Amino acid sequence: MKSTLRRGAVTGAATSLALLLAACGGGSQAGDQGGGGQEQSAPQSQASQQGSSGGSENMAQGVTTPADIYGPAASKVPTEASNEGSVQGMMDDPVGTAASNNPLLTSLTKAVQTAGLVDTLNKPNAGYTVFAPANSAFEKLPQETLDALLTDPAKKEQLTNILTYHVVPKRMDAESLGQAGSVKTVQGKEITISGSGKNIAVNGAKVLVGNVPTANATVFVIDEVLMPSKN
């Protein structure tokens, strides 16, 4: 599936993120992917072939399938197989590209492009958990703050810190996140996970759509933009 994003040279910000990922050990984990669309059989690839034990093994690694997706906004994810923003389309693409095709994540896509992190998030040999703020989450920010983050070159480092705070350098599903209680992000600070199973919250933010599989990440669409502490 062809990416709709411009492929450019990795910027200084993306390079910094890559170094952070290497320090956290994220680069060693393969980007497995789960099964097919919501009403379709699993595609026949090495990562997505599911048996009675294979599905459990994938879940243990934080790799989910369409059957694991949940949340009050799950119905807003397109289901047409021909739509690149559909469940099947997102599974076929790495997370940077998958997010760009999801109608819930257009604001996040713009922020990722501005920070120059697309190529890093699309690394095929990486494995991530991504807490992806929905468009409605960005709308909660003061407009002048959002405009500055997206247009002021002096704010690029701050934007990168915010975005990398939403990324964990390994794949985790909702159950394993709840069991962990907290997770260290690529940015370096920890995020608190409260609740368990399909009732987890991320630093208090609600999960709108959870356990979404992409080619190299498990995604949780959340209703807040998470801000790392300054300490």
Query: Quick one: pLDDT at residue 77?
Result: 73
The per-residue pLDDT for range 190-212, each reduced to its tens digit, is 999 999 999 999 999 999 999 99
- For position 151, what pLDDT does the model report? 95
Confidence of residue 22 (pLDDT cuts 50, 70, 90): very low
Provide the residue range defining the domain that includes 184: 28-222
Distance from the first to the final alpha carbon of the chain:
42
> In whole angstroms, what is the distance from residue 63 CA to residue 125 CA?
14
Are 84 and 101 within 8 A, CB to CB? Answer: yes
Q: For residue 224, what pLDDT is reported?
A: 97
Domain for residue 10, yes or no? no
Rounded to whole angstroms, the Cα distance separating 52 from 94 reads 26
Residue 11 lies in a domain: no
* Residue at 47 is within a domain: yes
The residues, ordered by sequence, that sit 6+ positions from 114 with a Cβ below 8 Å of its Cβ are: 149, 150, 156, 159
Question: Residue 2 pLDDT more than 50?
Answer: no
pLDDT given for residue 86 in this prediction: 64
Residue 230 belongs to a domain: no
Domain-located, residue 20: no
Average pLDDT of every residue of the chain: 77
What is the rounded distance in angstroms from the CA atom of residue 215 to the CA atom of residue 30?
10
Cα–Cα distance between 172 and 130 in angstroms, integer?
9
CB-count burial class (<10 Å; 0-12, 13-18, 19+) for 53? exposed
Which pTM does this prediction carry? 0.73
Determine how many CB atoms are found less than 10 A away from the CB of residue 70: 16
- pLDDT per residue as tens digits for the range 109-135: 999 999 999 999 999 889 999 999 999
CATH number of the domain that residue 158 is part of? 2.30.180.10
Q: Answer whether residue 33 is part of any domain.
A: yes
**Average confidence (pLDDT) over 149-176:** 96
48 in a domain, yes or no?
yes
Alpha-helix residue ranges (DSSP H) falling in the chain: 12-24, 54-60, 87-92, 95-100, 106-115, 118-121, 135-139, 143-151, 156-164, 174-180
Number of domains in the chain: 1
